[in-house]
Amino acid sequence: MDLLQPVIKPYAWGSHEALARLQGRRTPSAGPEAELWMGAHPSGPAGMTRGGRELTLLDAVSGGPERELGAACARRFGGRLPFLLKVLAAEQPLSIQVHPDREQARSAFAAQQADGRHGPYADGWPKPELLCALSRFEVLAGFRGREEAVRVLEDLEVGRLHPVVALLRAGAGDQVLTDALRAVLEWPRDDRAALVRGVVESCRRRARPDGPHAEAYAAVERMSRHHPGDLGLVASLLLNHRVLEPGEALFMPAGGLHAYVRGVGLELLANSDNVLRAGLTAKEVNVPELLRITNPAVHVPEVTPTSVPGPGSTQLYDCPVEEFSLHRTRLDGQGGPLVPSAGPRIAFCADGWVRLRAGRTDHLGLGAGDSCFLSASDDSVLVEGEGTLFVAAAGLSPAGRGPLR
């Protein structure tokens, strides 16, 4: 068991309070703190101390994949820890984005490398995601149904939107939603400012508590303060607007268009940094590639945790991917065997205090904001205390017969 030193990503949309408060540091922080990375991605591997030596989790996994991951997991994922655990603290909206599936990422990244050119793909791995809210978390996730999208746009009474509404009305099937998104994102440059201005002004007038689509309109008005003139403000109205309460979760499959608006949440994802963006960001956007990867038929389902055997109250957030799984255990003075019990795991204490014990001498305490890595060789681990512990692990085997170990 290794206590981790997570990496803080200081993206501009981050909070000056949330991560510092979670870790018990002085607030406000000197700059925005957006993401807390607990994993072995090359762009931000967590630190650790083992045998008196400072190293990273990436160093440890690379130095002994079978020992750290287990033979099956190391073989399936090429000696790479397949998941990355983060805490997101969004004070401002994140970009409208989509992530590729395995084959799309592999082929596109290989093509980039063969051409020796810079491109939008950071690696050759997919990036499905699970977001579990730690506070109320506002998201835009998946396309609205066609008829609902028509109502949301029509109710704004913005004349410039009539071609998009007509496109939606005339179309059939899911592809018309991507066609509408394309029409917005490829809007004529000399008319973009007027379109966005008209939509934002109409959203401001209609964001009253008793009005239809009020929350979605209010989100556009708020986001416009951070991204004035951005076509993503218009595009956001094509997406479902949701607010997750603490403990509620969404699964983001490959091809699912989404944007995080505000809140603090735990994000578990495949160990990749492949993001294709189309708006609400100062980072590089790639509209043609985002439109190619976006799958309008992909829905972003809510994941309802189910009770499983374990100490205290243990629940599984079940997702149909082999890269990761997530368990949440709430302890109230109880103890018992850690779940899951095998394979590579990262444990994160969201609140309270817990102790992990392996054998007679290996003990590790975690307070709020602390995390640790448990390798495949760390078996028979017991947990006790009073608090909430999330445990990220590899997901199901390709045949779906059980966890990869």
Q: Which residues are catalytic?
A: 277
Cα–Cα distance, 19 to 86 (Å, whole number): 11
Tokens 């000056």, residue?
16
Q: Considering Cα of 370, then 376, then 378, then 383, what sign does the dihedral take?
A: positive
